[in-house]
Structure 1
Amino acid sequence: MTKQHLPFMTFSAYTYNILTEIKELKKDMRNRSVYNEKQQNGENLSKWSLFWHLPIVWMITGAIGIILVDSVFRLLADQTGEITSLLITLTKSFIVIIVYRLTMKYLARRSISEISRQRAGIEVGMGILTGALFILVSTLIIVAMGGYSLQWANSVDTISVLVTSIELALSAAIVEELIFRGLMFQAIQNWAGDWTALAVTSLFFGVAHLWNPEATLWSSFAITIEAGVLLGAAFLWRRNLWFVIGLHFAWNAIEGIIGIPVSGHLIAGLYTVKVNGPALLTGGDFGLEGSIVPILLSLLIIIPMLFYAKRKPVPSKEIKS
């Protein structure tokens, strides 16, 4: 090779090295760009996940989902006969429980032990027994004090009364407990603890019944104590929604079956109930919940429930990733 070719060869090698470095630089820049884009997407996804993880967000989202399902199925049930309406209500109950479970699992990212299938039958049964005794004892006390007089309604259709009372009680118990003790209670509990959750949900529960027929400020206060605090205390004690649903269901169902207005809503019962004496004793047109009797009786139940709830260890609710 002649010496004349050396400068050209050196220049070519130099140019080749520069071009190679430029290609490597472009490749590195592309890799960095992809990495930064992925990192940014990851941060945005993380922020979005944190948004849905906020208690106020999953509480409202879950409640809206449950209310929408409830509204649609109520419209369907109102257009059918009693047995079909009961089947529609059972279907609705199954779906709103699924909505609740999905909300807690994927949005709140919390365990759903409070509505686990394990011991569900036992907890529901215990709740029904508690609710039945509570209403029956309250009714008997008022009867003994001359507030109620019961007379068997001969013309009533027993099957119709039972089906209607069970359907209405089941619908109210499941929907209201999933929203108040399921979503709202646990969202506030996560933010401010047990006592704040108990106070706030009880107050909201009482206010929610202020628009019922024949409702007054007194009846709303009574509902706050005898129902809101009692059901909240029952949830804290059992750490289980099935128990509270059973209690709430038996409460409403037995009132309806007897013929006592259920929070102002009067349906035909097995008895004709004549009301005598002051509204403070009888609850007046609002029904049993407006009476002083269940308020005092509920306090006798609430105190031991809260005592045992305080001694019971609190299970971890967060899902560990």
Structure 2
Amino acid sequence: MKKRSAQKEHSQMDEKLSKWRLFWRFPIVWMVAGAISIILVDAFIRPLGEQVPGLLSLLLTLTMSFLAIIVYMLTMKYLARRSIPELSKKGAGFEAIMGALTGVIFIALSTIIIVSLGGYSFQWANNADTVTNLIASIEAALGAAIVEELIFRGLMFQAMNKLLGNWAALAVTSLFFGIAHLGNAGATLWSAFAITLEAGVLLGAAFMWRRNLWFAMGLHFSWNALEGLLGIPVSGHTTAGLLIVKMQGPYLLTGGDFGLEGSVVPVIISLLIAIPMLYAANRNRNHMLQKV
């Protein structure tokens, strides 16, 4: 009798453990758990970085970024119970550089068009501390790129993809990415819609195409860093750049206080870049299905 009772207890414990594991493996659960953990890491370290100067602040941002990546990997390994090819070390440098070049082309082309239409003019910031401003722009861009890509393209996209499929994942993450920027300075319903299209769709398309977070992070980083160095507000956040921008003309051209992301120009340019990426992503997916 004792043996049967012990076996029954073990069976019940195994059943409870099995249900507990299934709970954590549900996509919404590991998505939320991972996102909260990454946000907490960011919320704990970022204020420390704001209290120290220059290189030490950048070092803290690098530390925060490293810890956020570790949290993401642990979430995927132990909660989602899946491999992490999107953060593979193999080819990471190449993917990050190609993503960064894509971001530079995107922002440079958008800025040149706005300048040619009379929306922006620039002058050198004579009193600027070049090194300090350079570090500040890199630091702000790096932290945002890594944290936001881990949460939106890493956790949310893949959770939604698991539940609803690729295209629904792209729509959901793009929408939430736009909503997340509504609280920024100078934000409007239009700027949120613009962010949904230009950032949500472009970064989502980049991830769908490359299936690589290093590429998306590189694109996001160079996008924000170049804007900051040009003195253009980055989604409402102003940083001291190497140049001072003067805006003139309608809001839809300049983006106003929200910055370049509020302009219709990068919305159009981003879609022209994203559409070929989405086409390539769909072709790659069909090719993989044919192999199976």
**Cα offset for 1:40?**
1.0
Is structure 2 residue 1 aligned with structure 1 residue 52?
Answer: no
**Cα offset for 1:311?**
1.1
> Which residues of 2 match residues 216-235 of structure 1 at below 5 A?
216-235=188-207
Larger Rg: 1
| Structure 1: distance between partners of 2:178 and 2:282 | 24
**Cα offset for 1:153?**
1.2
> Which residues of 2 match residues 117-266 of structure 1 at below 5 A?
117-266=89-238
The residue identity in structure 1 corresponding to 2:96 is: V
The residue identity in structure 1 corresponding to 2:232 is: I
**Cα offset for 1:103?**
0.1
Gapped regions of structure 2 (runs ≥ 5): none
Q: Secondary structure at the match of 1:266?
A: coil
C-alpha offsets along residues 162-194 of structure 1, whole Å, 9 cap, x if unaligned?
Answer: 100000000000000000000011001000001
**Cα offset for 1:314?**
8.2
C-alpha offsets along residues 213-258 of structure 1, whole Å, 9 cap, x if unaligned?
Answer: 0100011100000000110011000000000000000000000001
2:56 to 68, 84, 88: 84
Is structure 2 residue 254 aligned with structure 1 residue 274?
Answer: no
Q: Secondary structure at the match of 1:66?
A: helix
Normalised by the length of structure 2, the TM-score is 0.97
Identical positions, percent: 66
2:274 to 281, 297, 302: 302
Aligned equivalent of 2:78: 106
Aligned equivalent of 1:116: 88
Aligned equivalent of 2:9: 37
C-alpha offsets along residues 22-59 of structure 1, whole Å, 9 cap, x if unaligned?
Answer: xxxxxxx1221111111111111101100000111100
**Cα offset for 1:302?**
1.0
**Cα offset for 1:315?**
11
The residue identity in structure 2 corresponding to 1:63 is: A
| Structure 1: distance between partners of 2:62 and 2:239 | 20
Q: Secondary structure at the match of 2:285?
A: coil
**Cα offset for 1:270?**
1.0
| Structure 2: distance between partners of 1:34 and 1:189 | 42
Normalised by the length of structure 1, the TM-score is 0.88
Query: 4+ residue stretches of structure 1 with deviation over 4 A?
Result: none
Q: Secondary structure at the match of 1:312?
A: helix
| Structure 2: distance between partners of 1:250 and 1:160 | 18
- Do the aligned partners of residues 85 and 315 (structure 1) sit closer, same or farther apart at CA in structure 2, a change above 3 Å counting? farther
| Structure 1: distance between partners of 2:232 and 2:245 | 7
| Structure 2: distance between partners of 1:166 and 1:201 | 25
| Structure 2: distance between partners of 1:79 and 1:302 | 38
Q: Secondary structure at the match of 1:311?
A: helix
**Cα offset for 1:113?**
0.3
Q: Secondary structure at the match of 1:185?
A: helix
Matched pairs, number: 288
The residue identity in structure 1 corresponding to 2:185 is: P
The residue identity in structure 1 corresponding to 2:205 is: A
Is structure 2 residue 260 aligned with structure 1 residue 285?
Answer: no
